[in-house]
A and B are shown apart, each in its own frame.
Chain A
Amino acid sequence: MFPRPIEKSGPAAKAAYQAFLPFALILWLLPLLAIFLTSIRSAADINSGNVFGWPSEFAIIENYTAVFTQSAAAQYMWNSVLITVPTVMISVALACLAGYALAIYKFRVALPLFFLFVAGNFIPFQILMVPVRDMSVQTGLYDTIAGQFLFHAAFQTGFCTLFMRNFIKALPFDLIESARIEGVAEWKIFWFVVLPLVRPAIAALAVLIFTFVWNDFFWANVLTQGESAKPITAGVRALNGQFVNNWHLVSAASLLAAIPPVVCFFLMQRHFIAGLTLGAVK
């Protein structure tokens, strides 16, 4: 282990290390703490300029309910859910199929196709912006929930396929081989042999894609106009304009926007990190 385990350095060093940890953490999360404190402050504090000091009174419930009663935040949140959930389902399902094909079958274009998905995952969004926006307008998908989740699902399929393909590739190939010798149909091998084995990968992908898409801001701006289809990220920006100088409300709304991915992360932490680091450590 590197660095040398702190236990081996004597009790004084260990105590110092443990005392320093919370301090370092507070410093690291200072911006977040500040915004949290702002979100529970009263309007009086904001008006008197006490934005970063200790709140004179706690208005946590008032502020957070105000966000919902005075703005379309609830609608934005719900839109985000409606965009994110189908995206996760479509992209993961397609990637399971495609990843299986690219990992198990030996055919000439398998690697080029795999690289196509990988490359597509790295390109800048801007190169897609005008055609995708135009296509959405033409097909009536502009400013709709479906227009957004269809795009996200297609785009995330690149990353998901990269991920599933590598995961399936790492499975013992003998399993598939022996199923084939037994005469099991290809789709049955996929459904009954491979799919149960890739469940952890599916969980990892689902939380990752959920977070990525929930946090999307660019496409929310490109593909929507009004409030009816805007997700919460774009909504927070709109609120920033609506609640000018009401920092306590904007910060409350921002924190609300952050809650679903954060909850998701803490519930599925192991999967989340496994997902991010797959391929980093072979």
Chain B
Amino acid sequence: MADAVVTDTRTPTEPGWFRRNKLAIAPWIFLIPALIFFAIYVVIPIFESLWLSLYEWNGLYDAEGNSTATWVGFQNYVKLWDDPNFWTSLRNNIAWLVLYMLAVPLGLFIALFLNQTVTGMRFYKSMFFFPFVISQVVVGLIFGWFYNPDFGVVGTVWKAIFCEETTNILGNVTFNCSRPAPDILSSPEWATYGIIAAGLWPQIAYCMILYLTGLNNVAADQIEAARLDGAKGWKMLWYVVVPQLKPATFIAVVVTVIGALRSFDMIAIMTQGGPFGSTNVLSHYMYEVAISEYGERYGYGSSVATVLFGIMLFFISYFLWRMYQDEKGGR
């Protein structure tokens, strides 16, 4: 402090405007590159999409470089209301949201199973996390084969249980099955669940790692105290451990909700929305209508994206509100 006073007396002229406002200007200089970049690619496009959802546009421009979009108001949304594919997608989105949540308790379960200190445990923990590290494209391909009724694991296990193998004189093997093996991805009723199960695999791994870190920070003295009081097993888990895991649970729920609503890769790889659109979700349906061989319907696609954005915004607002409460408490 003394230093600052000395400097002031040494400069009789008014310090420059920049110097005086240093602490007000500096943050903006640090922020501007990121803000500009983020605005161009993220913030502005959101509003453009919202706006575009009120137009009909095939993405083309006329000779002068003006967009050929025509204003249709809320007509795209009216069309959505009558579009059975939209409702199927929305229903599947809800199925994803609900079933994806299984990743949270299952992740906790595996974390509890692995939360021991035996030799090689670090290796096991990282191997269990493995599915999360690889691309969903690869996961989708793997499970696509997995479900194949002829030669996939599902088909092989099915044959072992329900089929009788017979070899004729020529040495050809035929299978006599009491029930044919299920072709999960070709069945409109089951395909979505098959994809969700595949998606759960990496998601459980993610939740598991969040819980493993959370378990590290559980207060040992509280557990000891509860043990002395005779708590164990489920009671201990539910009344002592789970409340302490609240921050980990919150993050696990956040990433699972976002993951469920964002699901695109697996569907694109495994079924492309089929059979008959039965596995579509909003994120994939939007892509399909906006960039497809049936012509590009940017406006209609944007209205699908807007609906998805609206659903997401509902969750995002809640997360931000929770974060805001934390920030207020943290100061």
Residues of A within 8 A of B (CB): 1-7, 14, 17-18, 21, 24-25, 28-32, 34-35, 38, 49, 51-52, 90, 94-95, 97-98, 100-102, 104-105, 107, 110-111, 113, 115-120, 122-135, 150-151, 153-155, 157-158, 161, 181-183, 186-187, 190, 211, 214-215, 217-218, 221-222, 233, 236-237, 240, 247, 250-251, 254-255, 257-258, 261-262, 265-266, 269, 273, 276-277, 279-282
Contact = CB atoms under 8 A, between A and B. Distances in A.
A106 B324 CA distance: 16
B52 interface: yes
A42 B242 CA distance: 50
A218 B290 contact: no
A222 B283 CA distance: 13
A218 B137 CA distance: 10
Given A154-B42, A257-B137, A281-B217, A111 B327 contact: yes
Contacts of A7: 117-118
Across the A-B interface, the 6 shortest Cβ-Cβ residue pairs: A154-B41, A131-B45, A101-B30, A98-B34, A215-B135, A105-B27
A217 B261 CA distance: 16
B143 interface: yes
Given A32-B130, A280-B210, 19 more contacts: A2-B115, A29-B131, A31-B143, A32-B131, A34-B153, A35-B145, A51-B145, A98-B33, A123-B312, A125-B262, A130-B48, A131-B45, A157-B37, A161-B34, A211-B133, A217-B135, A218-B264, A269-B126, A280-B252
Interface string B302-331: 101110110010011001100110010000
Contacts of A222: 287, 291
B191 interface: no
Interface of B: 1, 3-4, 7, 22-24, 26-28, 30-31, 33-35, 37-38, 40-46, 48-50, 52, 59, 112-113, 115-118, 120, 124, 126-131, 133-139, 141-143, 145-146, 150-153, 156, 201, 206, 209-210, 213-218, 220, 223, 232, 236-237, 240-241, 247-248, 250-252, 258, 261-262, 264-265, 268-269, 282-283, 286-287, 290-291, 298, 301-302, 304-306, 308-309, 312, 315-316, 319-320, 323-324, 327
22 contacts: A2-B112, A28-B127, A51-B152, A102-B31, A111-B324, A119-B316, A123-B46, A123-B312, A124-B283, A130-B59, A130-B302, A134-B59, A155-B42, A182-B3, A183-B7, A218-B265, A221-B287, A251-B145, A254-B137, A262-B134, A273-B213, A280-B214
Task: Kindly name the residue among B34, B49, B120, B304 whose own CB sees the greatest number of chain A CB atoms within 10 A.
Answer: B34
A124 to B, nearest CB: 5
A254 B320 contact: no
Contacts of A125: 262, 264, 283
Contacts of B209: 273, 276-277
A104 B320 CA distance: 20
A118 B312 CA distance: 13
Contacts, number: 303
A2 B236 contact: yes
B216 to A, nearest CB: 8
Nearest to A110: B27
Contacts of A182: 3
Nearest to B144: A240
B126 A266 contact: yes
Given A128-B46, A134-B59, A258-B135, A2 B34 contact: no
A101 to B, nearest CB: 4
B328 to A, nearest CB: 10
A222 B269 CA distance: 15
Chain B facing A: main interface SS: helix
A95 B146 contact: no
A254 B142 contact: yes
A126 B287 contact: yes
Given A129-B290, A233-B137, A97 B49 contact: no
A130 B258 contact: no
Given A2-B115, A35-B145, A129-B305, A101 B265 contact: no
A24 B118 CA distance: 15
Contact of A25 (B124, B215, B327): B124
Given A127-B308, A154-B42, A277-B213, A261 B134 contact: yes
B324 to A, nearest CB: 8
A153 B290 contact: no
Contact of A254 (B141, B216, B327): B141
Contact of B52 (A52, A113, A131, A255): A131
Contact of B38 (A14, A129, A154, A277): A154
Nearest to B308: A124
A190 B42 contact: no
Given A94-B34, A131-B44, A218-B264, A124 B305 contact: yes
B128 A261 contact: no
Given A130-B301, A282-B247, A118 B320 contact: yes
